[in-house]
């Protein structure tokens, strides 16, 4: 393989100063590109009055990136529109929040075309292209129409919804058919892969030719589950930094005689924050004897602020966190700390380490890297307990966590109590099994498995037409 070209909506490699960028995807991709001498292509995050396709090529933090600016209308229709107001809510089962607007679909197609036109001249024979996430589903179709014959893989970081949910999308067939222009399509879990297969079987005369080999729309496609992992060793290594130690000491100092419960999430309705807050409130109500022994810290940096649903959930969370403290706080004590600030990754590591309980309760999540970060940061001699939603992709691997239904305040409250009162021996047993999994199925394993499946001997030869 000569080069790996990674394509994602945003390109944000770590800078030479080692400053950490937010987002599980960003961390995972930077790690992949350092290994293979590669190129990272995508949107610069900036807008321009008129799209020119002019590339900005830079090398930083060991990663070469090529970015393009987009027009304001592209942002509205493609990024805020089709990606974040249509596909994101739909794929997270929030049909009530999904906007179906023809202009969004057109913007989505236009930006994918523009990406393809700008990227195609950079592609050399032998390059392998790895496209990421729901923003860029039709990219392979656009590249193929420009004559690109290289191997192209696609990885979906978010859930693939059940067939009955998927068919709410106008022109869903067109979107799924475009996926057959990839050589390999990867999902986070076997469950999402199955849901995709079921769609193809019922909507596109599909046939499962053999495990992982799917026929549909008269074409053949490789599919597989590739659960994303953490840069586990690097993350655990961060605990040794001065920033992590300081944050750990700070959190330990402000929870003397108390246990810290921590949640860290982008402020997003899929992360189950409202339900979690209500679950914590229920815990406080039901356990007057434990009340003064806990502090719950929720870190939730704001995201996608220009999308209304995100403004609304932010308002509701402000009210709910105020209500919980109003109800339970005393002159010298408050049970809940809710912050919208963004912290450095090493600081987060220190915070996780200081916590007795990590609470990760999304309503739906492709994987959820916070669950893995919490485990990676624990003290082996006195580890904390992970409370994890059954509906996170991570629940498939992390069976020794306390698994809960995030929609049930009772289950969340009971799990918090169980985690806080769990004997050390059980905490250690559970953590050891979780840590072994997080270390074994790390980001390197994820990347190598995907790239091997895309380039290996089992890979299909183009053209993959079967009639
Ligand atoms: C998508 C899928 C899938 C959060 N607050 C801060 C901060 N974070 C970091 C966390 C973690 C990342 O953001 C979030 O990753 P998640 O996996 O939890 O979720 P999404 O952002 O929704 O990512 C998801 C993922 O892609 C990868 O495939 O797991 O299911 O939705 O790393 O630590 N980072 C810093 N400061 C913060 O305040 N530095």
* Residue among 28, 47, 30, 26 at smallest CA distance from 39: 30
Q: Which region among 18-22, 55-59, 102-106 has the lowest average model confidence (pLDDT)? A: 18-22
CATH number at residue 252: 3.40.50.2000
Record the tokens describing residue 95, joined without a space.
Answer: 């049909």
Could you write out the DSSP letters of every residue in 298-364?
EE--B--TTSHHHHHHHHHHHHHHHHHHHHH-BTTB-SEEEE-----HHHHHHHHHH-SEEEE--SS
Give dist(CA 24, CA 170) in Å, integer. 30
Does some domain include residue 243?
yes
**Residue 272, ligand 1, Cβ within 6 A:** no
Structural domain contains residue 153: yes
Q: Residue 465 Cα, ligand 1 centroid: separation in angstroms?
A: 38
The residue range of the domain holding 316 is: 232-440
Mean pLDDT of the 60-77 span: 92
What is the pLDDT, as a whole number, of residue 22?
Answer: 45
The protein residue with its alpha carbon nearest to ligand 1, atom 33, reads 370
Q: Is residue 158 a part of any domain in this protein? A: yes
Q: Mark whether 9 and 157 lie in a shared domain.
A: yes
* Ligand 1 nearest-atom number relative to CA 228: 28
Tell whether 248 and 361 lie within a shared domain: yes
Q: Name the closest-CA residue to atom 34, ligand 1.
A: 22
Ligand 1 pocket: which of 20, 21, 23 to mutate (most atoms within 8 A of CB):
23
Residue 467 pLDDT level (bands cut at 50, 70, 90): very low
Strand order in the sheet with 4-10: 56-60, 63-70, 38-47, 4-10, 128-132, 151-155, 184-187, 219-225, 213-216, 207-210
Please, how many CA atoms are within 13 Å of residue 416, restricted to the half-sphere of its CB? Answer: 34
Are 222 and 302 part of one and the same domain?
A: no
Q: Are residues 250 and 326 in the same domain?
A: yes
Please tell me if the CB atom of residue 228 comes closer than 6 angstroms to any atom of ligand 1: yes
Whether 124 and 237 map to the same domain: the answer is: no
Query: Catalytic residue numbers?
Result: 157, 365
Residues 99 and 175 in one domain: yes
Q: Do the domain assignments include residue 460? A: no
Are both 305 and 161 inside the same structural domain?
A: no
pLDDT classification of 63: cutoffs 50, 70, 90: confident
**CA 71 remoteness from chain centre:** 26
For residues 99 and 48, state if they share a domain: yes
Q: How many domains does the chain have?
A: 2
Which CA distances in Å does 223 have to 22, 208, 309? 29, 10, 33
Residue 342 CB–ligand 1 contact under 6 Å: yes
Assign 15 to helix, strand or coil.
coil
Average pLDDT, the chain: 93
Does some domain include residue 464? no
* 208 domain residue, yes or no: yes
The string of pLDDT tens digits covering residues 32-57 is 787 777 899 999 999 999 999 999 99
CA 393 vs. chain centroid, Å, equals 10
Ligand 1 site, residue 370, Cβ cutoff 6 A: yes
Same domain? For 187 and 224 the reply is: yes
**Cα distance between residue 380 and residue 361, in whole Å:** 24
Residue 27 Cα to ligand 1 midpoint, Å, equals 9
pLDDT of res. 465: 42
Whether residue 239 is found in the same domain as residue 292 = yes
**189 in a domain, yes or no?**
yes
Question: Among 3-7, 18-22, 90-94, 176-180, whose mean pLDDT is lowest?
Answer: 18-22
Same domain, 185 and 236: no
CA–centroid distance, 28 to ligand 1, in Å, is 10
Chain segment 274-283, per-residue pLDDT in tens: 999 999 999 9
Is 91 in the same domain as 173?
Answer: yes
Query: Is position 140 within any domain?
Result: yes
- Ligand 1 atom closest to Cα of residue 369: 17
């Amino acid at each position: 393989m000569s080069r790996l070209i990674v394509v994602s909506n945003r390109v944000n490699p770590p800078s030479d100063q080692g400053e950490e960028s937010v987002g599980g995807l960003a961390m995972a991709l930077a790690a992949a590109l350092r290994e293979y001498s590669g190129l990272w292509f995508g949107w610069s995050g900036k807008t321009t009055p008129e799209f020119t396709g002019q590339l900005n090529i830079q090398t930083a933090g060991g990663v070469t990136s090529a970015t393009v600016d987009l027009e304001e209308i592209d942002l509205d229709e493609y990024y805020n529109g089709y990606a974040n107001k249509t596909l994101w809510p739909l794929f997270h089962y929030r049909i009530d929040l999904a906007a179906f607007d023809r202009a969004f679909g057109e913007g989505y197609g236009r930006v994918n075309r523009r990406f393809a036109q700008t990227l195609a001249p950079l592609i050399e024979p032998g390059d392998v292209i790895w496209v990421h996430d729901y923003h860029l589903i039709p990219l392979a179709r656009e590249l193929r129409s420009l004559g690109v014959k290289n191997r192209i893989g696609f990885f979906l970081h978010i859930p693939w919804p059940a067939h009955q949910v998927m068919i709410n999308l106008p022109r869903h067939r067109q979107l799924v058919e475009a996926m057959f222009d990839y050589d390999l399509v990867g999902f986070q879990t076997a469950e999402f892969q199955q849901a995709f297969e079921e769609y193809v079987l019922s909507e596109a005369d599909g046939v499962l030719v053999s495990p992982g080999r799917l026929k549909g729309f008269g074409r053949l496609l490789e599919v597989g589950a590739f659960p994303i992992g953490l840069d586990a060793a690097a993350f655990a290594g961060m605990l040794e930094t001065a920033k992590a130690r300081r944050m750990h000491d700070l959190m330990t100092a402000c929870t003397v005689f108390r246990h810290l419960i921590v949640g860290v999430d982008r402020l997003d309705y899929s992360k189950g924050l409202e339900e979690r807050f209500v679950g914590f409130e229920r815990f406080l109500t039901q356990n007057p004897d434990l009340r003064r022994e806990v502090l719950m810290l929720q870190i939730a940096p704001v995201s996608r602020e220009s999308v209304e649903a995100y403004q609304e959930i932010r308002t509701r969370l402000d009210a709910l966190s105020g209500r919980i403290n109003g109800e339970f706080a005393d002159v010298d004590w408050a049970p809940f700390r809710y912050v919208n600030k963004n912290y450095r990754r090493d600081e987060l590591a220190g915070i996780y380490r200081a916590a007795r309980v990590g609470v990760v309760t999304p309503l739906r999540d492709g994987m959820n890297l916070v669950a893995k970060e919490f485990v990676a940061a624990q003290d082996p001699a006195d580890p904390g307990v992970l409370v994890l939603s059954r509906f996170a992709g991570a629940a498939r691997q992390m069976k020794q966590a306390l698994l809960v239904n995030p929609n049930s305040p009772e289950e969340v409250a009971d799990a918090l109590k169980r985690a806080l009162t769990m004997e050390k021996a059980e905490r250690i047993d559970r953590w050891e099994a979780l840590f072994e999994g997080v270390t074994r199925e790390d980001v390197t394993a994820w990347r190598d498995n995907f790239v091997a499946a895309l380039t290996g001997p089992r890979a299909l030869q183009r053209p993959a037409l079967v009639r």
